[in-house]
Amino acid sequence: MQELEQISLQKVVTGLQFVDGLAWSHTLGLLVADVRQNKIYRINGTAKPILFRENSGGARGLACDIQGRIYVCESVARRVTRIDSKGAVEPLAEVFQGKKFNSPNDIVVRRDGHVFFTDPAFGSAADRRELAYNGIFHITPKGEIDVVAQWKTRPNGIAFSPDGKLLYVADSDRHAVVAFDVDKNGSATNPRDVIKNIAGVPGGIKVDVDGHLYVAARGVGIYTPAGKLQRTLLEGTNASNCTFGEINLESFFISERGGIFKAELGVKGALQY
């Protein structure tokens, strides 16, 4: 990884309203969810966003799988969907034990097809909630849904370690990141804090090939696998999310409000699928 003084941050996208979800697709380029516009855009070699999907159900979290399918947390529609290569939208999770989800927020797909997503109740979602908790949920490759954790606080960003054996979840209310052990069947156990006292409200999380964690909050904090803060990018800026992308996942993108920054950190992102 480059020294902080050598890292150049370039604003590559402007004109959006409130960017939350970021994901890299090897066929479509950078995918961007603009919550206020209720749209998903793609950025492919140009600063001008290209409309990918409108009426997105309040898309927030985005992820891709090994087949190139796109997973979407639809926060307003209160469901998780998957988009295939032809653009067909398939609902994956709409209710749990007969109750609608709060407001699905962020999502990650392991290489073997296990899907995990967070379901907090921010803002008006708290007034219409049917579940009595803020959940972290698991969707098996067969489409079965189970709850990983039931929190009083609100989970947000979610990511896997490079080997897929650790699941990281941002706890926005406690300003922390929690790790779970995940086995081959997708069972997540042994929750514990790996990062505490995060400056700002932690949102999106990504991981590099060496296991370092990148947490979007007040700027993007870069932490060792043991949870020690090494440096902060865009310090003082309220960052919403981040992701690695481009050839070999060697570029790093950060979203804040209506814009997206790009940096070359000298390290590759861990493949999240």
pLDDT digits (tens, 9 = 90+) for 52-83: 999 999 999 999 999 999 999 999 999 999 99
Total domain count, the chain: 1
Q: Is the pLDDT of residue 5 over 60?
A: no
Residue 137: closest CA among 174, 162, 100: 100
Least confident of 4-13, 108-117, 154-163, 253-262: 4-13
Residue 269 lies in a domain: no
Long-range CB contacts (within 8 A, 24+) of 94-98 = 96/131, 96/135, 96/137, 96/145, 96/147
The residue ranking higher by pLDDT, 9 or 22, is 22
- For residue 272, being part of any structural domain is answered with no
In percent, the amount of the chain with pLDDT more than 70 equals 96
**What's 93's domain CATH number?**
2.120.10.30
**Mean pLDDT score of the chain:** 93
Range of the domain at 45: 4-264
What is the gyration radius of the CA atoms in the chain, in angstroms?
Answer: 17
Residue 68 domain-assigned? yes
Residues 202-224 pLDDT 10s: 999 999 999 999 999 999 999 99
3-state secondary structure of 105: coil
CA–CA distance from 1 to each of 24, 222, 231 (Å)?
Answer: 21, 11, 11
CA distance 80 to 89: 10
